[in-house]
Structure 1
Amino acid sequence: MMGQLKQERLRVREQNHFLDLLMQVSPMGVIILNFGGEVTQLNPVAAKMLRVKMHEVIGKKMAGIATPLALALSTMELEETKDVRLEDANIYKCTYAYFIDQGFRHPFFLIERMTDVVMRAEKKAYEKVIRLIAHEVNNTTAGITSTLDTLNEALVDVEGTEDMRQVMQVCVERCYSMGRFITRFADVVKIPEPTLTMSSLNELATVCARFMEGICADRQINLQLQCSDEVNDVPMDVSLMEQVLVNIIKNSAESIGVGGDILIRTITPATIEVADNGKGIDQDTADRLFTPFFST
């Protein structure tokens, strides 16, 4: 009897050790709770997903951990599985379940990072939609502009048609604008791989500020530039970063409207920051910032 009991304890100990090893090396986040819903154990992946240190959350309930993912987990019902999309564009598949140990339920969370999988699927879907839309719009506008140009030329020598020709010219310009608009959408799926070179953040900020001065002046916006002499050069694709920074400044100007301030500054060791006194965005908009083609 004693020998059997000893063997059983050894088997359980070895089994628990094996499960502990699996938790530590698992690519999924694992969080184990006690009967009161307090965290008793979590693996390194779960700590990274929660953006906490492991010892900081032991003994806490999920609702008491002030991170977006933890707060989302705290709202789940037992035996529920749902996808959680955070503001930083990360997507997680979360399962709240339990296992039986010595006749008692032990709740736990399984968290799987789905960001890359979902992004690839969404990108393929957007590529197909964009190609279809671009093809149909460009074909349609090409036919319309060609017809309007021909009609406009035919009416040049006809008296009393100036108003009509002006309206047709407006229609032609709108067609060209629509073509440029859809082309910009199509460019989203053609962004090249970045070519990294050691470049100056100060020079990037200066070039973009100079480029956006005219737009800001038209809106009576004071555009300021503050560059730190101690900022390090960083590896970046200058062309792509210029596009990013110009878009951010443009968004700031649109947020302000008329009259206001935009500050572009570089901070050591290698940070570039754009601040404005615009009206900002609400939480619903913030949750959708990284959704392709979403705009306010």
Structure 2
Amino acid sequence: MRLKVIFGIFASLLVLILGLLIYQMASSGSVLFYVTEVLVLFAFILLWLFYRKVIKPLQIIGNGMELLREQDFSSRLSSVGQHEADKVVNVFNRMMDQLKNERLRLREQNHFLDLLINASPMGVVILSLDEELTQINPMAARFMGVLPEEVIGKKLTEVDSVLSVELSKIPRQGTVTVRLNDSSIYKCTHSSFIDRGFHHPFFLIEVLTDEVIKAEKKAYEKVIRMIAHEVNNTTAGITSTLDTLEQAFSTQEDSAELTEVLRVCIDRCFSMSHFITRFADVVKIPDPSFSPTDLNEILTSCVRFMQGMCNERNIQILSKFEKMPLLMVDGALFEQVLLNIIKNAAESIGQEGVITITTSGNGDIEIADNGKGISKEVEDKLFSPFFSTKPNGQGIGLILIREILTRHGCTFSLRTYHDGITRFRIHFSQ
């Protein structure tokens, strides 16, 4: 029962008793009647003082506790005119001011952190204690290729993204460099922060693609130029000498076998020169000359060109073209890209299979095949310089594709999906 109610009951009983006492004294008519009236007046004064000094301060303090319980930091307690109680009221009001300022500071700080996270060039992914996504900033969503509202509440392994799967494998307090199947390279850090006494995990994702690709390109350009210079100069001298010897021995009798050996050596020198020239061509890719282009027409031309090779291998090419807008591309360079992708798909199939080429109205291109697929170990190295899974491969086809698509501002990926189909996807951001 509240203290104010108890005081009210007590005061009512006291008034009732004093009233009865006055009534009895009045009937006697003695001097005790006047003494009783004085005592009653004195009792009322004491009740009023008791209420003012004890009950009212306690009631105000109780109201303050209610404000704290409801977290209403904007209200204040008023003074009651009692020194000790007013000291409590002043301390309470100062505490409320501090709590209000602290809450305001925390809100401003959290707002600033939210703005900082959303504007950060690094990807930020925050998980709950159950390892479910609670926050993902726009850059992380872009890196993962997802929409934030679609992945909130899911675990990393449940998100349809290669990067999210790689993040789930990073140990706590670990930092790993991840290379994806779209040639993207990320530095990923798994750490945690303390909130309300619990460690909440989060990931920082820093893109390293441009820096690594520039460093790789600078390194292999220098190596290719040096090798091409030395090989071409050497083969030119050897070829000239071999030509002279062939001409000299061709007029002599019984030199047919030697002449044939010299011809084989000359052909081998030409093959070596052609081999190193292909590497040099990667370095000498011209800058794109952009013009409005219908990619459906280029794809149709590529299908016609590759049809003969595919027919020999019993490979069927299916085309599903939607009407596409004219895109600003270099037609010649982009045709080279598409031919290389279709050729790789055919070589992956080997014999008897299907290549499906699909375009969409927003300019996306997908070239899919039902070949042997790409393993996880190979997938991470696909766009590395000079890496090839073919016995006689030079590892420059995908580098050529990467360079041209990057110069066109395209995003792309090469991956074998759960259905066993390998898909090369190209997306135009323009």
Q: State the Cα distance separating 1:76 from its structure 2 match.
A: 0.9
Q: Which amino acid aligns with 2:336?
A: Q
Cα distance 1:225–1:30, how it changes in 2: closer, same or farther (>3 A)?
A: closer
- 1:163 aligned partner: 257
> How many residues are matched?
294
1:1-296 pair list within 5 angstroms? 1-2=94-95, 3-216=97-310, 219=312, 221=314, 226=319, 230-257=323-350, 260=352, 267-269=359-361, 270=363, 274=367, 278-295=371-388, 296=390
Cα 1:206–1:114, aligned 2, differ >3 Å: closer, same or farther?
same
SS at the partner of 1:155? Answer: helix
SS of 1:193's equivalent in the other structure is: coil
How far off is 1:204 after superposition? 2.0
Q: Which of the two has higher C-alpha Rg? A: 2
Q: CA deviation at 1:45?
A: 1.6
Query: In structure 2, how many angstroms separate the alpha carbons of the residues matched to 1:34 and 1:229?
Result: 43
Shift of the 230–285 alpha-carbon distance from structure 1 to 2, 3 Å rule, reads: same
DSSP-derived class of the 1:77 partner: coil
1:111-167 Cα distance to aligned partner (Å, 9 max, x none): 111111211111111111111111121122122212211221221222211111111
- 1:274 Cα offset (Å): 4.7
Whose helix fraction is larger, Structure 1's or Structure 2's?
Answer: 2
CA displacement at 1:262 relative to structure 2 = 6.0
Question: What SS does structure 1 have at the residue aligned with 2:250?
Answer: coil
Quote the RMSD (CA, aligned, Å): 2.7
Is the 2:322–2:359 Cα contact (8 Å) retained in structure 1?
no
Q: Deviations over 1:210-269 (max 9, x none)?
A: 44455456x3546657585845443321111221222233334433445x4665756453
* Contact 1:202–1:227 (8 Å) recurs in 2: no
Q: Check whether the contact 2:290–2:328 (CA below 8 A) recurs between aligned residues.
A: yes
Is residue 216–residue 385 contact of structure 2 (8 Å, CA) maintained in 1? no
Structure 2 counterpart SS, 1:13: helix
Does the 8 Å contact 1:99/1:105 carry over to 2?
yes
Contact 1:205–1:264, Cα closer than 8 Å, also in 2: no
Q: Displacement, 1:196?
A: 1.6
CA distance in 1, matches of 2:235, 2:121: 50
Comparing 29-38 with 3-12, greater Cα deviation is found at 3-12
Q: Structure 1 residues 6, 69: closer, same or farther in 2, change over 3 A?
A: same
TM-score by length of 1: 0.86
Identify if the C-alpha distance between structure 1 residues 234 and 132 changes in structure 2 by more than 3 Å, giving closer, same or farther. Answer: same
In the alignment, the residues of structure 2 paired with residue 222 and residue 101 of structure 1 have an alpha-carbon distance, to the nearest angstrom, of 58
Comparing both chains, which one has the higher relative contact order based on Cα–Cα distances under 8 Å and sequence gaps of 6 or more? 1
CA–CA distance in structure 2, aligned partners of residues 56 and 274 of structure 1 = 27
Decide whether the 8 Å contact of 1:225 with 1:264 is kept in 2. Answer: yes
Gaps of 5+ in 1: none
Q: Check whether the contact 2:313–2:350 (CA below 8 A) recurs between aligned residues.
A: no
Distance 1:280 1:18, change over 3 A: closer
Q: CA separation in 2, counterparts of 1:294 and 1:145?
A: 30
